[in-house]
Amino acid sequence: MTLRRGVPVLALAAAAAGVASAVVPVNEVGPKTRIQPSGRLLAPPGKLTTLGNHPGGGALTTNARFLWTLSAGRGRNDIRIVEVVTNVHCKKGPKGAACRGRRDARVGRVVQVIPMPGVDGGITMARDNRTAYVSGTPESSHKDQQSPPGTPGKQGDVIHVFHYDGNTGIATRAGIIPVPPPAGAPLPQALPQQGDFPVGPPIPQNFPPTNTQPESWPRDLAVSKDGKTLLAALNLADRAAIIDTKTKQVRYVKVGSYPYGAAITRDGRGLISNESDGTVSVIDLKAGTKVKDIAVGAHLTHPEGIVADRRADRAYVAVAGEDRVAVIDTKTMTLWRQLNLRREPGTGTEPTQVSVDPYGCFLTSADSGEDAVALFALRRPCTITKRTVGGHSKITVKGTQLPSPDYLGRIPTASYPVFAAPEPHLKAVSWIAAKGFGVGPNPNGPNPLSKKNNDNQINTFRYLPSIVTGTAGVLPFPTARQLQAYDRQATKQLRPVNFEKPPAGSPIVPPGAPGGGKIKHVFYIVRENRTYDQVLGDDARGNGDPKLELFPSSMTPNAHALAKRFPLLDHVFANSEASIDGHFWAAASAVSDYVVKNWHQNYGGRNRPYDFGVYAVSWPPKGFLLDQAQRQGISYFNYGEAIAGDVPLTDKDRAPAENQQVQAKFSKSDLGAPVGCYPNDAYIGDNAITQDETWDSTPPPGAPPNSESRFDCFHNRFMTELATNSVPAMNFMVLPSDHTQGLSPGKRTPQAMVAENDYALGQIVDLISHSPVWSSSLILVVE
């Protein structure tokens, strides 16, 4: 049985009492079955290669024979170079069979692994077919995943330079280019660490940040045609860096907020995409000045990857938050077209990276939200001829530039593609997917009862963030008929293969459907960090493993009693690998690409600021459940969920309308002292503002004075609501004590914190089930 992060375990409803739970098919998610937690069955075509930890990006070498992949996860970071096209030529027919076998075996092999202090996915290749540039982040502070002593660039804010052999693919280090934050660069926006808060009201509007020094954090890179100029988007400095590749001199240009993508047009101008602003900055590379900003999306729509066509006056921008690709006319520097990638009914495709082949024939978009690559034709026909003139290869491209990109179809990939590139001359399409096929069963996950359950030794377990393994794929350039089949497959995989209809008589039905209207109040309780097997592995009815149980019925009697009385949900999975993205799945049913890529670097101890959920740049495109309730006019109250865009801290990226949105949610939330009584989900065991102990349940006799209780706070408000007939339709509640504080000295033991969390759950269910609203209530409990 798998150890699962974030699995719902209980569903309680008075209206559902006595209704049998649905028979859920026994299945396993992960690499073995290729079924994802979302229920998608992924079966990408082509040759597949297992990569390193959560790749953040990649690039093809100039000759398109080798694919560089950048392992940018919480664990060890490295560069893995994969051979995707060979230079072996074989005879046709039976005489060439053995040769073809050896040639095909080389495709997809990893030719080299280069340890790195830290990378985030930014990379570009010079046209000399020997020089590569890679964005560098700081070395991890965690001892078990650091690069070897002497590895250059451990300080971060650098660009690593490599020289590679175009025939073998083998690379060597060729130095680093420092890109430190310039004078005037902003401090990173970040949440404080425990103990940094001032005590007492009023609530501070700008907490002391965890990152107290400016950072550059180079992301995407681009290099000029002559190889003399390198352009870097400095994601945390709100600057672009213009670099002389010979002298390594750096000039800085102020651009928009959270710059991400970089490109250089065929006439030599620079383009930088800005995630928060929804713009692309145009830069005069010679003068070192910004010319203008082009709006390619709305505010906070996250324009990310950008590519300039080498053979036409066009550039393409992946607008992740709007599920489309913006097309810029680079002659007039205006927005020219929008390529719609949206799916029905509302599946977010989230394109994050775009590529155009060197011949200007095809465009690809890596759509992380739908696990597919979208392919467009830019030129028709695309006839490429190569001949040798004077000892040099010369390529001729014939075909007519299409008036607008022509959508051809989608190619399925593994989970969460972050890079794709077409290569029509060598007749191949390559891609990189950050999450591969998932992690699957995890019987050796972290154990809060172990002394090794700490940042420096966590990888002695199979710690999910460190074992998310990427996948690369390469396939022959598809024919029209093949692409039609791939497109059908990409559409089909969006529907879960393990989907089950609700059982007959279920009170949970769509609005307006027969039998609906019974449920008037939902209590959505979010606990933290325990898995199904750790708590309910001993329940013989479920697909659990009692050997993995850590907190049996003697410690969790309420969870066990409720699971026996109400439906047991033993095959509900979550897409998260750690607490932070789990909060987003629980509070928003979505995680932005900004969070997916950056939380790994934060958890990895590489000095990426912790700004998730509070600061607007990290919000999902459609916001949170609280925003949806607001839009639909559904009454709600939020008990303690701070990862919901509801904390009114100063934020450089929020517009007035977004400030009002935050204030509206904050007014319907209790996030704890100094203005409330319900400690938010960041306060596990201790309140960082008041320094008082926090409890999910009523504090037991002997608890320290001024201990704060989530249940007692809820009880008081709930009783007032009952008296005034004002119980909201949606009640969002966090109970995070079962996260525990591990074996931290002076703290409650994990067993005590899990037992106390279980007692709080029992108190809440007891209170609601003995209230006048019980007959019309549904309680959902998730981890």
Q: Band of the pLDDT at 193, cuts 50, 70, 90?
A: very low
**For 146, what's the count of Cα atoms within 13 Å in the CB-facing half-sphere?**
17
In whole angstroms, give the CA distance from residue 44 to residue 473: 8
C-alpha 570 chain-centroid distance = 25
Tens of pLDDT along 634-671?
999 999 999 999 998 889 999 999 999 999 999 999 99
- Nearest alpha carbon to residue 599 among 619, 615, 616, 580: 580
Whether residue 698 lies inside any domain: the answer is yes
- Nearest alpha carbon to residue 68 among 574, 432, 506: 432
Inform me whether the pLDDT recorded for 98 exceeds 70: yes
Query: What does 73-110 look like in DSSP terms, one character per residue?
Result: SSS-EEEEEEE-S------SSGGGHHHHHHHHHHTT-E
Buried-exposed string 299-314: b where 16+ CB fall within 10 A, e elsewhere: bbbbbbbbbbbbbbbb
User: What radius of gyration do the chain's Cα atoms show?
Assistant: 27
Inform me whether the pLDDT recorded for 364 exceeds 80: yes
pLDDT of residue 26: 46
Inform me whether the pLDDT recorded for 127 exceeds 70: yes
β 521-527/730-735 pair status: parallel
Q: Which of these ranges, 88-102, 555-569, 731-745, has the smallest mean pLDDT?
A: 88-102
C-alpha 593 chain-centroid distance = 5
Tens of pLDDT along 266-305?
999 999 999 999 999 999 999 999 999 999 999 999 999 9
Whether residue 727 lies inside any domain: the answer is yes
In whole angstroms, give the CA distance from residue 476 to residue 419: 17
- Nearest alpha carbon to residue 190 among 598, 588, 551: 598
pLDDT of residue 91: 85
65, 445 contact by CB (below 8 A) = no
Query: Is the peptide bond preceding residue 674 cis, with omega within 30 degrees of 0?
Result: yes
Strands (E), 501-599: 521-527
Buried-exposed string 94-111: b where 16+ CB fall within 10 A, e elsewhere: eeeeeeeeeeeeebbebb
pLDDT of residue 9: 43
531, 9 contact by CB (below 8 A) = no
703, 695 contact by CB (below 8 A) = yes
- Nearest alpha carbon to residue 319 among 292, 290, 294: 294
Inform me whether the pLDDT recorded for 407 exceeds 70: yes
* Number of domains present in the structure of the chain: 1
Mean pLDDT score, 663-688: 92
- For the entire predicted model, the pTM comes to 0.93
Whether residue 673 lies inside any domain: the answer is no
Which residue has tokens 């009692």? 546
Greatest mean pLDDT among 10-14, 155-159, 535-539, 682-686: 155-159
pLDDT of residue 544: 86
278, 296 contact by CB (below 8 A) = yes
Whether residue 768 lies inside any domain: the answer is yes
Tens of pLDDT along 296-334?
999 999 999 999 999 999 999 999 999 999 999 999 999
700, 686 contact by CB (below 8 A) = no
Q: Band of the pLDDT at 11, cuts 50, 70, 90?
A: low
pLDDT of residue 213: 87
Whether residue 97 lies inside any domain: the answer is no
Whether residue 694 lies inside any domain: the answer is yes
pLDDT of residue 207: 40
pLDDT of residue 25: 41
Inform me whether the pLDDT recorded for 239 exceeds 60: yes
In whole angstroms, give the CA distance from residue 337 to residue 352: 17
pLDDT of residue 27: 67
Tell me which DSSP letter residue 505 carries: T
Q: Band of the pLDDT at 345, cuts 50, 70, 90?
A: low
Inform me whether the pLDDT recorded for 776 exceeds 70: yes
Whether residue 280 lies inside any domain: the answer is no
419, 11 contact by CB (below 8 A) = no
Tens of pLDDT along 22-48?
333 446 888 989 999 888 999 999 999
Whether residue 711 lies inside any domain: the answer is yes
Q: Band of the pLDDT at 12, cuts 50, 70, 90?
A: low
Q: What is the mean pLDDT of the chain?
A: 90
Inform me whether the pLDDT recorded for 780 exceeds 90: yes
Inform me whether the pLDDT recorded for 20 exceeds 70: no
CA distances for 478 relative to 59, 83, 482, 485, angstroms: 20, 19, 6, 10
Percent of the chain topping pLDDT 70 = 93
Tell me the three-class secondary structure of 709-736, residue by residue: EHHHHHHHHHHHHHHCCCCCCEEEEEEH
Domain range for 766 = 10-16+518-590+634-642+681-782
Mean pLDDT score, 146-163: 97
Q: Which of these ranges, 13-22, 455-464, 690-699, 739-748, has the smallest mean pLDDT?
A: 13-22
Amino acid, res. 538? D
Mean pLDDT score, 693-720: 96
Inform me whether the pLDDT recorded for 581 exceeds 50: yes
Tens of pLDDT along 742-769?
888 889 999 999 999 999 999 999 999 9
Tens of pLDDT along 452-502?
888 888 888 888 888 899 999 999 999 999 999 999 999 999 998 887 777
| Contacts of residue 312, Cβ cutoff 8 Å, sequence gap at least 6 | 266, 360, 378, 401
Inform me whether the pLDDT recorded for 194 exceeds 60: no
